[in-house]
Amino acid sequence: MASTDHTLSIEGVSTNQLQTTTKWVLTSPDPPGFLQHIFHSIKNNVFPPGNTNSSSSHSPSVRMLALATTIFPVFNWGRNYKVSKFKNDLISGLTLASLSIPQSIGYAALANLDPQYGLYGSVVPPLIYSVMGTSQELAIGPVAVVSLLISSMISKLVDPVADPVSYRKLVFTVTFFAGSFQALFGLLRLGFLIDFLSHAAIVGFMAGAAIVIGLQQLKSLLGISHFTTKTDVVSVLESVANSLHTSWYPLNFVLGCSFLIFILITRFIGKKNKKLFWLPAISPVISVILSTLIVYLTRADEHGVKIIKHFKGGLNPSSLNQLEFNGPHLGEVAKIGLICAIIALTEAIAVGRSFASMKGYNLDGNKEMLAMGFMNIAGSMSSCYVATGSFSRTAVNVSAGCQSAVSNVVMAITVLISLQVLTKLLYYTPLAILASIILSALPGLIDYNEAYHIWKVDKMDFLACAGAFFGVLFESVEIGLLIAVGVSFGRLILNSIRSNIEELGRLPGTDIFCDKAQYPGSLDVSGVRVIRHTSGSFCFANANPIKERIIRYLTEKNEKDQTRTSMIIGIVIDMSSVMSIDSSGIVALEEIHKKLVSKNVHLAIANPRWKVIHKLKIAGLVEKFVASDCIFLTVGEAVDACLTSKSSIGLANSC
């Protein structure tokens, strides 16, 4: 290792002059660069470390099998799949389909698309996920929040009523971009990007989106013909109030509310009696069948009841020729795709991990991103819009006793058969029923208990939660997301800028140094002050405040302690928490060193991390610090050096 040879002799300072532990710090190899990190991430994703022995690891067939198993986990669990499991997967798949069919039609309407496009999204994406995904329970298909995102954001570019063809093309293109971003996140291990939407922000966003989705259903529930395209609560309520004076049909409201009450009652029964799990799952289908019969037999559509009317069935048609990559809205479409990708991944991975933990296995986040990405890319080419994992359908899938992703396959085949034979039978299905089905699924998106828990635990987190909630509710989905990310970033930057410095003391009878505020029994070391930089980064945002605090701290201490015996002769900076340092941090560290040397105070740096010591080597500070006896592996060694080697101050002055 060239880096090791370089650090064994630092500009003429021989290794004999260095303490053994200091030598360990200085002779560490250089950390991998950015390109190396990206290369290893891709390599580990495509060829993960396996248990194959060295003789077989070079075999092309073994490598191909490893690659196939990595990309398609079905080769892993499929080998152990037993016919006895298929009975449970068949039941859960059929139960899932009974819920997915009416929900998918409703979500397509929410996305301003024809009903068949919701059903298409319950065919191709689940089939692809079943062979590429790592979750055994996750149910794939259209979801309410993503449908709202698509309708609210793409409608600003193209009017779905005036130009439905162009609108549909943009939807498919957004789906392609969403899938591409998701696959890229998984390939490059960029899952941390999802974490920019904190848990608190997601809770607030989901709650706000649930209310907005509910308000959007008033159009179908009241049979309103002319409705606002805006999503904020004020605009929606104004539109409803104006329509109540002109054109609305009470029969829609009566029909929708009646079946909404029916669905909620069946859900209550299902919660009380676990053996009746199938009842709330099939209640939406029962509602669709009964309401369709009622409208058909009474000809209620002639009295103002809004119905689906005709929609196309059959196999998913190709939409490859409808993808637009040279239109005037390409930049906006890519942005919408990125937002949909992050929201869809956040929901799917959160749902998948929660059920995986219940079943006692780990969900591979990077493989999930790859699976979601490829299924949405394929979906964009087969007339589907963005699909992801649904909490309500996954819960039904688990309750029905699913054993593997085969339940998704059964569901997809059932939906495909329905597209072939049932579309004509849904002609008289009232839109109010679809609205009631969507409304029945919304309470699961509003988590009052979690919001209260966030308020108790962390008020700043609750600010992100409330900001996302009110932003979605009173402005738009984009503003809500922007506020959520903005508050999260603001908190991150604030924590980075704040010059958090802890004063450390030694626990009696030990060589352990800890925060004096947390451990009041810890003792000062006479003549030496130990401080810890608590931020993970020593950078432009906090370098100057930290430098000023250290110098001010030294001045205040020496002004209080005027006697020569109690004057500070050494300051130890514990940098074990600092993961990275930039040029501003390096300059500040050099200025601190110069200032302390001018005051005959010894500076000691304890436990600089890998990237920090590497940057100090490049900047040329290591030579100066080594000559001044400034770098140590532990805080205890640094303190002992300050106490036993006061002559080091003179050596520092000569530096």
Q: Could you say which DSSP state residue 443 is in?
A: G
CA distance 470 to 574: 42
Antiparallel, parallel or unpaired: β 570-574 and 602-606: parallel
What's the rounded mean pLDDT across residues 34-39? 69
> Strand 528-533 to strand 501-506: parallel, antiparallel, or no bridges (unpaired)?
antiparallel
In this model, does residue 647 exceed pLDDT 70?
Answer: no
Contacts of 125 (CB under 8 A, 6+ apart): 140, 141, 375, 376, 378, 379, 384, 387
Does position 309 have pLDDT exceeding 80, yes or no?
A: yes
The mean predicted confidence, pLDDT, of the chain is 83
Lookup result for tokens 């590429």 = 132
* Maximum average pLDDT range among 18-27, 42-51, 165-174: 165-174
Token pair for 82: 């037993």
11 torsion bin: left (phi>0), alpha (psi -120 to 50), beta (else): left
Q: Tell me the CB-side half-sphere exposure of residue 654, using CA atoms within 13 A.
A: 8
**Segment 58-75 mean pLDDT:** 74
Q: 179, 143, 124: which is closest to 408 by C-alpha?
A: 124
Instruction: Give residue-wise pLDDT tens across range 408-467.
Output: 999 999 999 999 888 888 889 898 998 898 898 888 888 889 999 999 998 888 988 898
563: helix, coil or strand? coil
Name the band, by pLDDT with cuts 50, 70 and 90, for residue 56. very low
> Is residue 392 within 8 Å of residue 142, measured between CB atoms?
no
Q: Are strands 602-606 and 631-632 parallel, antiparallel or unpaired?
A: parallel
Per-residue pLDDT at 1: 37
Q: How many CA atoms lie within 13 A of 616 on its CB side?
A: 30
Residue 562: the pLDDT is 58
pLDDT tens for 247-276 read 677 888 899 999 999 999 998 998 888 788
> Which burial class, exposed, middle or buried, applies to 417 when counting CB atoms under 10 A from its CB (0-12, 13-18, 19+)?
exposed
- The secondary element (H helix, E strand) that includes residue 538 is strand 537-538
pLDDT reported for residue 10 = 41
Count of alpha carbons within 13 angstroms of residue 83, beta-carbon side = 0
Rounded to an integer, what distance in angstroms lies between the CA atom of residue 445 and that of residue 220? 21
Which pLDDT tens digit goes with each residue over 453-480? Answer: 999 998 888 988 898 899 989 988 778 8
Residue type, 240: V
pLDDT-based confidence at residue 44 (cuts at 50, 70, 90): low
pLDDT tens-digit series, residues 559-618:
666 555 567 888 999 998 888 888 988 999 999 988 888 888 888 999 898 888 888 888
CA 610, CA 33: separation in Å to the nearest integer? 12
Q: Tell the residue number behind the tokens 């495909």, with chain if given.
A: 416
What is the number of residues in the chain? Answer: 655
Pairing verdict, β 631-632 and 513-515: unpaired
Comparing CA positions, the residue from 38, 92, 73, 32 lying closest to residue 278 is: 92
Report the alpha-carbon distance of residue 505 to residue 518 in Å, rounded.
10
Report pLDDT for 150.
94
Give the pLDDT band (50/70/90) at residue 318.
very high
Structure tokens at 471: 């932003």
Is the Cβ–Cβ distance between 513 and 636 less than 8 Å? yes
DSSP, collapsed to helix, strand or coil, labels residue 56 as coil
pTM of this structure: 0.73
pLDDT per residue as tens digits for the range 195-247 = 667 788 888 888 988 898 888 888 888 888 777 777 788 888 888 888 777 76
More confident residue, 385 or 26: 385
Place of tokens 């100057």: 544
- What is the token pair recorded at 610? 């890998």
Percent of the chain, pLDDT > 70? Answer: 88
What is the distance between the alpha carbons of residues 102 and 81, in angstroms, rounded to a whole number?
Answer: 31
HEC readout, 111-174: CCCCHHHHHHCCCHHHHHHHHHCCCCCCEEECCHHHHHHHHHHHCCCCCCCCCHHHHHHHHHHH
